[in-house]
Amino acid sequence: MIILDRRQIEDLIYLPAAATAIRDAFCSTSRGEVNLPPVGHITFPQVSGDCHIKYGHMQGKPDFVIKIATGFPQNAETEGGTGNGMSLVLSATTGAVQAILHDEMVMTDMRTGLAGSIATQALARSDSRTVLIVGTGPQAMRQIESHAAVMGDHLNFEVWGRSASKAAQLADKLGGRFAVRSVSDLETAVRSADVIVTATGSTKPLFQSDWVSAGTHITAVGADAPGKQELDVNLVARADLRVVDLAAQCLDHGEMSHAAVQGLIAGQDVLELGQVLLQAATGRKSPGHITIADLTGIAAQDIAIADVVLKAYRAKGGRDV
Amino acid sequence: MIILDRRQIEDLIYLPAAATAIRDAFCSTSRGEVNLPPVGHITFPQVSGDCHIKYGHMQGKPDFVIKIATGFPQNAETEGGTGNGMSLVLSATTGAVQAILHDEMVMTDMRTGLAGSIATQALARSDSRTVLIVGTGPQAMRQIESHAAVMGDHLNFEVWGRSASKAAQLADKLGGRFAVRSVSDLETAVRSADVIVTATGSTKPLFQSDWVSAGTHITAVGADAPGKQELDVNLVARADLRVVDLAAQCLDHGEMSHAAVQGLIAGQDVLELGQVLLQAATGRKSPGHITIADLTGIAAQDIAIADVVLKAYRAKGGRDV
């Protein structure tokens, strides 16, 4: 059995290689090659905490993965934020535990960052330069790292947060590696952005639909459980293209769910990211269109990133103990 | 964080103490004090394997537990049988992983054995002596150990299996510790038993309803997933008392489900074991009654046994590493 901790895992993930694996995972999902049972969920209302259990098996893989991710917003702020957890890798032929990847959320953060950047690359205008990041937590950082790794060095990042000082801190922290600055006026930033990435734990819309200019792409990664919401339902309704990681999930508790409950969109109004990546469906059709990617997170991503970690571990001579 | 392996865990569980914890867990469940989300389940049809994820939180406990149990019947027969898995203990206030109990199924086996014996003790005639165990796997052994630990040394165990040689092997293995013998004629054994415990992975009834004598108690622990069945639906219908660990679960995929689907019983025809243990409901009303306990396994048991292991570990001076 292999047991790895957060630091070991983070060192083993090379973003461009991991991006390929995550992209393949979305394609496999849309080809129907991944068994993805419903997500498990338990809440701890007294401390506003929760735990998700995502698990699944990709056809032909010798292993399956169970990913446990906790979110306890009341935790004291630490480097790793309020998330924690681990992934377990088990044999799909014997049930034996192959690996315990005690990542304390870093794998989830990285695969979510990569998914966001893959969706943006697939859907944003190809001349996009300015990426507005709404949020200042660990996921905001991962979105910047991933967008730069997947789309290139030409991007200019702007960071806005409810706390101006946290936005400034994040810009300072990443300023040496990327073109990033904090902004204080959200409306102005939304109006001028080519791409908007929302990465918050918000339960209500972060900005108004009418601030969003034609041609903008929005990637929303925060709504991973019932009750969470980052986008105005009018923006979801107004968008020319709505892309999701998994239709059943996004219509249940993603951004799409809020618009669907209000009757503004229906199930046939969303496309899966894998279909766009496979070119089985058309993505952006015009530079003036507004496009949205609603990513709630699927076990196929957790399977892919665990595979990346274990392959890298073994390639570096790591052994089972 | 504490990491324990199978051997350490088995050494830490003292059955009489664990029985008290499991009994309390059933009582807490029936008092509504345990948050038990639906069980997660994934199957691997090519090798007839599956994995259950049971998880929950007991009111007031600082931790919650996620229990992963795999069953791969095609595994080569080993000492541990075809089951595997682990329990994870996480903080209910921060989400941090407190302990990885890599029990390889031994905790599940032991808590299932204890649940069976607790149900038998609560429901069988007080003058019961002969306990027929149907099944020869690891769970059959646990049922014998637990019934002796919980009910006393006066019990005579008979073991029947589809394989007569496995039944003989189990009787030999346990013969030095308990009064146990293998039997070859199932009908005769069923007709004369005071208690029948079924502990198999069967998908069809193991014996006929009309073999069962008045006054018999039956504890069935094998039906833990859709498609599994040990008892004749006519026996379930005929029983004077039907007790379950969790009504929703047993009516969904336990022994009760098969009778319910055929319209032979309804939801109000089952009682929960916790209600009987709390004396909130009446158990056996007559020595001539047939009683059935249908145990599908609930996370409250997994929480209790994990707690037993960690308390014993700490009491013996074990530390977090």
pLDDT digits (tens, 9 = 90+) for B75-128: 865 545 689 999 999 999 999 999 999 999 999 999 999 999 999 999 999 999
Q: Which two tokens stand for residue A149?
A: 């790794």
| Mutation for A interface: B34, B54, B90, B103, most A CBs within 10 A | B90
Q: Which residues pair with A64 in a beta bridge?
A: A90
Q: Answer yes or no: do A37 and B37 touch at CB < 8 A.
A: no
Q: Across the interface, which of A37, A49, A90 has its CB nearest the CB of B70?
A: A90
Question: Tell me, what's the pLDDT at B76?
Answer: 64
User: Per the domain annotation, does B159 fall within a domain?
Assistant: yes
| Mutation for B interface: A67, A74, A90, most B CBs within 10 A | A90
- Whether residues A133 and A246 share a domain: the answer is yes
Q: Across the interface, which of A1, A51, A88 has its CB nearest the CB of B90?
A: A51
ipTM confidence: 0.91
User: Per the domain annotation, does A236 fall within a domain?
Assistant: yes
pLDDT at B218 over 90: yes
State the Cα torsion A108-A112-A118-A119 to the nearest 10°: 150
- Whether residues A280 and A212 share a domain: the answer is yes
Look up residue B189 and give its amino acid.
A
Taking CA–CA distances from B63, the nearest residue in chain A reads A44
- Range scoring the smallest mean pLDDT among A34-48, A65-79, B264-278: A65-79
pLDDT at B199 over 70: yes
Question: Tell me, what's the pLDDT at B77?
Answer: 56
Q: Across the interface, which of A56, A93, A97 has its CB nearest the CB of B47?
A: A93
Question: Tell me, what's the pLDDT at A262?
Answer: 96
User: Per the domain annotation, does A115 fall within a domain?
Assistant: no
Q: Answer yes or no: do A57 and B68 touch at CB < 8 A.
A: no
- Whether residues A143 and A259 share a domain: the answer is yes
- Whether residues A78 and A132 share a domain: the answer is no
Question: Tell me, what's the pLDDT at A76?
Answer: 64
- Whether residues B103 and B199 share a domain: the answer is no
- Whether residues A175 and A46 share a domain: the answer is no
DSSP state of A48: T
Q: Answer yes or no: do B97 and A90 touch at CB < 8 A.
A: no
Query: What is the C-alpha to C-alpha distance for residues B128 and B219, in angstroms, rounded to an integer?
Result: 13
- Averaged pLDDT for residues A241-251: 96
- Whether residues A287 and A305 share a domain: the answer is no
Shortest CA gap B242–chain A (Å): 30
Q: Across the interface, which of A71, A84, A97 has its CB nearest the CB of B86?
A: A97
- Whether residues B204 and B223 share a domain: the answer is yes
pLDDT at A87 over 60: yes
In this prediction, residue B304 has a pLDDT band, given cuts at 50, 70 and 90, of very high
Q: Which two tokens stand for residue A217?
A: 């792409």
- Whether residues B135 and B263 share a domain: the answer is yes
pLDDT at A139 over 90: yes
* Chain B residue numbers touching A72 (CB-CB < 8 A): 93-95
Question: Tell me, what's the pLDDT at B319?
Answer: 85
> What is the CATH number for B140?
3.40.50.720
Residue with tokens 């394609």: A27
Residues 6+ apart with CB under 8 A from A11: none
Which member of B54, B67, B166, B204 is catalytic? B67
Report CA-CA distances (Å) from B318 to B2, B18, B315.
Answer: 9, 19, 7
Q: Are strands A49-58 and A63-71 parallel, antiparallel or unpaired?
A: antiparallel
Cα B238 to chain center, whole Å? 23
DSSP element (H, E) containing B312: helix B299-315
DSSP element (H, E) containing B16: helix B15-30
Taking CA–CA distances from B77, the nearest residue in chain A reads A94
Domains of chain B: total: 2
Q: Answer yes or no: do A95 and B49 touch at CB < 8 A.
A: yes
- Whether residues A87 and A165 share a domain: the answer is no
User: Per the domain annotation, does A113 fall within a domain?
Assistant: no
User: Per the domain annotation, does A114 fall within a domain?
Assistant: no
Q: Which two tokens stand for residue B184?
A: 């070859």
Q: Are strands B179-182 and B49-58 parallel, antiparallel or unpaired?
A: unpaired
- Whether residues B241 and B273 share a domain: the answer is yes
Residue with tokens 């461009």: A16
Q: Which of B147, B275, B169 is nearest to B217 (CA)?
A: B147
* Chain A residue numbers touching B51 (CB-CB < 8 A): 55, 64, 66, 90, 95
Domain range for residue B48? 2-107+300-315
Question: Tell me, what's the pLDDT at A78?
Answer: 53
Burial A90-122 (b: 16+ CB within 10 A, else e): bbbebbbbbbbbbbbbbbbbbbbbbbbbbbbbb
User: Per the domain annotation, does A167 fall within a domain?
Assistant: yes
Residues B108 and B67 sit within 8 Å (Cβ to Cβ) = yes
- Whether residues A138 and A265 share a domain: the answer is yes
> What is the CATH number for B76?
3.30.1780.10
Shortest CA gap B61–chain A (Å): 11
Residue with tokens 């990681």: A245
Shortest CA gap A68–chain B (Å): 9
pLDDT at B226 over 90: no
User: CB burial class (10 A; 0-12, 13-18, 19+) of residue B261?
Assistant: exposed
Residues 6+ apart with CB under 8 A from A198: A134, A135, A206, A218, A219, A220, A221, A222, A230, A231
B136-186, pLDDT tens digit by residue?
A: 999 999 999 999 999 999 999 999 999 999 999 999 999 999 999 999 999
Taking CA–CA distances from A95, the nearest residue in chain B reads B70
Q: Which residues pair with A118 in a beta bridge?
A: none
Residues B201 and B71 sit within 8 Å (Cβ to Cβ) = yes
Q: How many residues does chain B have?
A: 321
| Selected residue with higher pLDDT from A201 and A289 | A289
Q: Report percent pLDDT > 70 for chain A.
A: 98
Look up residue B48 and give its amino acid.
S
DSSP element (H, E) containing A109: helix A106-123
Query: What is the C-alpha to C-alpha distance for residues A137 and A159, in angstroms, rounded to an integer?
Result: 11
Shortest CA gap A9–chain B (Å): 16
Taking CA–CA distances from B93, the nearest residue in chain A reads A47
Q: Across the interface, which of B38, B44, B84 has its CB nearest the CB of A57?
A: B44
State the Cα torsion A104-A109-A111-A117 to the nearest 10°: -170
Q: Which residues of B touch A (CB under 8 A)?
A: 1, 3, 35, 37-38, 40-42, 44, 47, 49, 51, 53, 55-57, 64, 66, 68, 70-72, 75, 82-86, 88, 90, 92-97, 100, 102
Taking CA–CA distances from A90, the nearest residue in chain B reads B85
Shortest CA gap B91–chain A (Å): 10
Q: Across the interface, which of A75, A82, A96 has its CB nearest the CB of B84?
A: A96
Q: Answer yes or no: do B53 and A66 touch at CB < 8 A.
A: yes
Residue with tokens 């409250």: B300
Q: Answer yes or no: do B64 and A47 touch at CB < 8 A.
A: no
Question: Tell me, what's the pLDDT at A77?
Answer: 56
User: Per the domain annotation, does B320 fall within a domain?
Assistant: no
A293-303, pLDDT tens digit by residue?
A: 999 999 999 99
Coil/strand/helix, residue B166:
helix
Taking CA–CA distances from B3, the nearest residue in chain A reads A3
User: Per the domain annotation, does B113 fall within a domain?
Assistant: no
CA angle A84, A39, A246 (to 5 degrees): 110
B67 classed as catalytic: yes
Shortest CA gap B88–chain A (Å): 10
- Range scoring the smallest mean pLDDT among A61-70, A91-100, A218-227, B142-151: A218-227
